[in-house]
Amino acid sequence: MRLPVYLDAPSTTPVDPRVFEAMRPYFMERFGNASSRQHLYGADAADAVASAREKVAALIACEAEEIVFTSGGTEAVNLALRGFAAANRAKGDHIVTTATEHRSAMDSCRRLENEGFRMTYVAVGEDGLVSPSAIEAALTPATRLVSVLLANHETGVVQPGADIGKICQTRGIAYHVNAVQAAAVLSLDVDLLGCDLLSLSAHKMYGPKGIGALFVRRRERRARVAPLLEGGGHERGLHPGALPVPLAAGFGEAALIALNERAADSSRIAALRDRLWAALRGAIPGSFLNGSETSRLPGILNVSFEGVEAESLLLALRQEVAASSGSGCTSDSPEPSYILLAMGLPAMRLPSSVRFGIGRFTSDNEVDFAAGSVARAVADLRKRSPLA
């Protein structure tokens, strides 16, 4: 067993060996630019990108031409929010989202507010769930976009995405779904979700870092999006620059594997999550689960340990268990998680929250070892606490 045990899959997943092998040829032997179709090297690269696009499209049940490759999930979210807002401002300036979105969405929304757009951040309950009726109540005649994080990166809470989509369709309002955390383990269908835009990231689903995708609906109701950068007509003019062919090939392979294996992965990972939670709860009095007990991802477990600071616990576990106190994008901030704050958790639980993330390659032995390590560390920290 490799130490420290890796339990931070929501931050990033290791590249699946099958994905790495799919990428390998495009770094050296098959190095062409996919935009240089005039010769065989470029044509070969273009074929690889086309194949990858089809595989990513199959993962979310859309058409290949509706997939726009980006540099990652953050760009995809920015393109969905800021790009859509710029292209549709004349039709309305109001956007609705939730108070527990990923930082990429929250920062995009703040920027749009500075540019004169009006935002509504709909509250969630203590379980982290947003009510579709609360989303509907926030809509106005000027609302042009609703954006929802389908599966939360800190708590694993899964929102009622399809119910929100039905509301948006009825009102003729565009709908963006951030599915970055969901794609590896949840079945996704853009028509069932009723969305017009959907964000993905390869490195959250055992693919390479540095590439993501945005679904931009072209059928029935066409979604209009303006580019964030200039520099050529690549990716329907929405993502300029030469595509990283090796990363695209890896993304495509990761999507294909997820499509074929996510049901089995999800079941096994959920069993490991429940095993970990049962062990922690049984060994550590004063353990609290944060977020919905039922509507959540299989691999994320967010727990508060009474009387223990998360940062001290993670430091104590550094050689044995790799977990986190929140998302990677906010790990440098000393402030309590804005997501847990928005859920209205008791103040005592905020600084003691730890996120454990289980993935495709996590084993039973690793979960058992981690549970024992956490229990010992918590007990030791409580003994040394001046409040004990």
pLDDT tens digits for range 276-313: 999 999 999 999 999 999 999 999 999 999 999 999 99
If asked whether residues 141 and 273 sit together in one domain, one would say no
If asked whether residues 251 and 279 sit together in one domain, one would say no
Structure tokens at 301: 């477990």
End-to-end Cα spacing for the chain: 34
pLDDT band with cut points at 50, 70 and 90 for residue 234: confident
Share of the chain above pLDDT 90, in %: 92
If asked whether residues 380 and 294 sit together in one domain, one would say yes
> Nearest to residue 116, comparing CAs of 93, 132, 86?
93
The pLDDT tens digits of the residues spanning 136-157 come to 999 999 999 999 999 999 999 9
If asked whether residues 351 and 339 sit together in one domain, one would say yes
pLDDT band with cut points at 50, 70 and 90 for residue 94: very high
The residue annotated as part of the active site, out of 62, 109, 195, 329, is 329
- Residue 12's Cβ-count burial label (10 Å; 0-12, 13-18, 19+) is middle
pLDDT band with cut points at 50, 70 and 90 for residue 221: confident
Average pLDDT over the chain reads: 95
Does the annotation mark 62 as catalytic?
no
Q: Which long-range contacts (CB under 8 A, 24 or more apart) does 39-44 make?
A: none
pLDDT number for residue 333: 57
The pLDDT tens digits of the residues spanning 361-386 come to 999 999 999 999 999 999 999 998 76
If asked whether residues 64 and 129 sit together in one domain, one would say yes
Q: The CATH number of the domain where 357 resides is what?
A: 3.90.1150.10
From residue 242, give the alpha-carbon distance in Å to each of 32, 51, 66, 208, 263: 10, 17, 19, 17, 34
Residue 8, pLDDT > 70, answer yes
> Nearest to residue 83, comparing CAs of 52, 53, 66, 105?
105
If asked whether residues 239 and 268 sit together in one domain, one would say no
Domain of 244 in residue numbering reads as 17-257
For the ranges 10-19, 270-279, 324-333, which has the lowest average pLDDT?
A: 324-333
